[in-house]
Amino acid sequence: MNVPDYQPTTSPQRVQSEANPRRAESWQAAWVRRTIPLMMALHFGSSQRPAPDVHTLRLRAHRYTWPARFATRLLYPKVRRHPDFHLAGEWIRPETAAAAHTETVVLFLHGGAYYFGSPATHRAVTYELAHASGSAVFALDYSLAPEHPFPAALEDTLHAYRTLLARGIVPGSIAFAGDSAGGGLALAALVALRDAGEPLPAGAVLLSPWADLTTIWRAKHNVLSMNRTAMEAAAKMYLQNARLFETLASPARAKLHGLPPVHIQTSDSEGLNADAHELAAKLQREGTWVEFAEWHAMPHAWHCFSPFVPEARAALAQGAVFMRDCWVKSVHDTST
Spatial distance between the Cα atoms of 138 and 163, rounded to a whole number of angstroms: 12
Q: Quick check: is 148 catalytic?
A: no
Q: Crossing angle of helices 66-75/123-133, nearest 10°?
A: 20
Q: Which of 270, 291, 294, 311 is an active site residue?
A: 270
Q: Which of 88, 104, 108, 73 has the alpha carbon at shortest distance from 185?
A: 108
Half-sphere exposure of 119 (CA within 13 A, CB side): 20
Q: Quick check: is 147 catalytic?
A: no
Q: Which of 173, 180, 225, 250 is an active site residue?
A: 180
Residue 148, SS3? coil
Contacts (Cβ under 8 Å, ≥6 apart) of 332: none
Q: Quick check: is 180 catalytic?
A: yes
Rg (CA), the chain: 18
**What is the bridge-based pairing of β-strands 9-10 and 15-19?**
antiparallel
Q: Cβ distance 233 to 240 under 8 Å?
A: no
Q: Which of 35, 11, 24 has the alpha carbon at shortest distance from 225?
A: 35
Spatial distance between the Cα atoms of 3 and 309, rounded to a whole number of angstroms: 11
Q: Which of 122, 263, 300, 303 is an active site residue?
A: 300
Spatial distance between the Cα atoms of 181 and 179, rounded to a whole number of angstroms: 6
Q: Cβ distance 122 to 108 under 8 Å?
A: yes
Task: Please give the angle made by the CA atoms of 220, 63 and 175, to the nearest 5 degrees.
Answer: 75
Q: Which of 114, 121, 203 has the alpha carbon at shortest distance from 154?
A: 114
Q: Which residues are catalytic?
A: 180, 270, 300
